[in-house]
Amino acid sequence: MTYDYDLFVIGGGSGGIATARRAAQYGAKVAVAEFDRLGGTCVNRGCIPKKLMVYASHFPDLFKDAQGFGWSPVQSTLDWQKMTTAVNQELDRLNGVYQNMLDKAGVDLFRGYAKFLDPHTLEIEDRKVTAEKILIAVGGHPVKPDIPGIEHALVSDDIFLLKEQPKRILIMGGGYIGVEFACIMNGLGSEVSLLIRKNLILRGFDDDIRSEIQAGMENHGIRVLASSEASSIEKIPEGLRVTLSGNHQEIIFTDVILSATGRKPNLDNLGLENAGVEISNGAIAVDRYSQTSQEHIFAVGDCTDRINLTPVAINEGRAFADTVFGGQSRTMSYENVPSAVFSTPEAATVGLTEAEAQEQYGEAVKLYRARFKPTYHSLSGRNEKVMVKLVVEQDTDKVLGAHMVGENAAEIIQGIAIAIKMGATKKDFDATVGIHPTIAEEFVTLR
């Protein structure tokens, strides 16, 4: 049978576009369907705009820090609309970059929702196309908890569209999205409360990271309402009235509520039942080659709910293209994938947590940890600490995990991730000469 395309990609996010370009480089005839701006969640509603706001949120502290180094005080106020306009202009530029990449690769772009009519046929608006291979890369979307009045809460997508900066904001959720936005809004000058169901934020991260960030957030003035939930939300003339249950049985008043309690794959209206694609636990079921229950249909990224990170989706997509169109069979490795939380203080991690290592290796695990005030803050006057930690398996001396809380943690852990990916031992770290005086050198001086 003759098809319109060798590969049709549903979703123009980072994973989908990376896959389409790689397949096209191998000579495949490729098309992408996207109903929204190119770049997906990361470019338009996640990584990029959020990181730009992180940068913006750091300036008040920098202005204050400067005084400790001899600079005169700075009086400055935030123009919220100027900041959000600049952020959105950068997103417009990036969308043009993505469009240009598709054009240069010779990939056709269909504007609209794509839906399966049968295993090889898709409908986009009023057009029908066929493809020999189909890749699903539709990502995910935020979901809200089912409580009375939740319609008054925003999700993370909405923060970038606010016309005015809220004076008070309540953030529900202790995952990295809730934590990052709590720190952003606090740094920008809003009064922030963070509502979490457990006693610590960032479930799944190393416990030292969790406790260090939470203590740092509280030190910066964020009120953390631990082991508590919102039981109802009511709109009143003065803003929003929230009734809490759990450890904090009280009523609080706020201007904005951000619900950051979870995300789920974008599977509605895809017509997966028409293609015979199986779903498991609300996500598309795939094997290690990203192949679904249909041998010619594949899926990558957040819609498969493996590791929901943009670089992972990109790597999954490129591995698929290399295997299917490039004749280079390979799979994505999910071991030692580094990640970061762009909170204040910042954190980054790679490899096993202390708890994971002890579960696998028991008493053979040895920990190396240091907590200290960095040189910068010896003059800034701020009470800021850095925590660095290595998790080591004693029998082999292999470094199983590296964790850090402090400024530039992500930049530092990115380099350390290479060493851990290559199987570095503690002796390898010890034999490496440190760059003095830096925070990063602590990783090679831990004893």
Choose among 10, 6, 23: nearest CA to 320.
Answer: 23
Rounded Cα distance between 15 and 286, Å, is 15
436 is catalytic: yes
pLDDT value of position 1: 82
Domains 5-141+264-324 and 150-260 share a fold: yes
The tokens for 43 are: 């470019």
Using the 8-state DSSP alphabet, how is residue 213 labeled?
H
Per-residue model confidence as pLDDT tens digits over 130-173: 999 999 999 999 999 999 999 999 999 999 889 999 999 999 99
> Which residues face 236 on adjacent strands?
239
Choose among 187, 207, 188: nearest CA to 198.
Answer: 207
pLDDT category at 417 given cuts 50, 70, 90 is very high
Per-residue model confidence as pLDDT tens digits over 295-335: 999 999 999 989 999 999 999 999 999 999 999 999 999 99
My answer on whether omega of the bond before 142 falls inside 30° of 0, hence cis, is no
DSSP characters over 71-99: PPP------HHHHHHHHHHHHHHHHHHHH
Per-residue model confidence as pLDDT tens digits over 107-116: 999 999 999 9
CA dihedral 166, 170, 174, 176 (to 10 degrees): -10
Its pTM surpasses 0.85:
yes
Per-residue model confidence as pLDDT tens digits over 367-388: 999 999 999 999 999 999 999 9
Per-residue model confidence as pLDDT tens digits over 262-306: 999 999 999 999 999 999 999 999 999 999 999 999 999 999 989
> Which of 3.30.390.30, 3.40.50.2300, 2.60.40.1730, 3.40.710.10 is the CATH number of 345-444?
3.30.390.30
Q: Which CATH superfamily does the domain covering 5-141+264-324 fall into? A: FAD/NAD(P)-binding domain (3.50.50.60)
Q: Which CATH class is domain 150-260?
A: alpha beta
| CA-based torsion, 406, 407, 413, 416: positive or negative | negative
Which of 220, 248, 403, 436 is labelled catalytic? 436
| pLDDT above 90 (res 214) | yes
| pLDDT above 90 (res 51) | yes
Per-residue model confidence as pLDDT tens digits over 235-266: 999 999 999 999 999 999 999 999 999 999 99
pLDDT value of position 215: 98
Choose among 287, 313, 284, 283: nearest CA to 300.
Answer: 313
Report the pLDDT averaged over residues 34-59: 95
pLDDT value of position 262: 93
pLDDT value of position 305: 87
- Counting Cβ atoms within 10 Å, is residue 223 exposed (0-12), middle (13-18) or buried (19+)? middle
Percent of the chain having pLDDT more than 90?
A: 99
The tokens for 249 are: 């049985």
Using the 8-state DSSP alphabet, how is residue 112 labeled?
S
Report the pLDDT averaged over residues 218-225: 98
What is the domain partition of the chain in residue ranges?
Answer: 5-141+264-324, 150-260, 345-444
Percent of the chain having pLDDT more than 70?
A: 100
CA distances to 31, 258, 290, 331 from 301, rounded to whole Å, are 18, 24, 9, 14
Opening angle at CA 373, ends 201 and 351, nearest 5: 45
In which element (H, E) is residue 241 found? strand 239-246
Q: What average pLDDT is seen over the chain?
A: 97
On whether the CB atoms of residues 410 and 403 are closer than 8 A, the answer is no
| pLDDT above 90 (res 210) | yes
* Cα 129 to chain centroid, rounded: 33
pLDDT value of position 177: 97
In which element (H, E) is residue 398 found? strand 398-405
Choose among 407, 272, 297, 280: nearest CA to 342.
Answer: 407
How much helix, strand and coil, in percent to the nearest 5, is found in the chain? 35, 25, 35
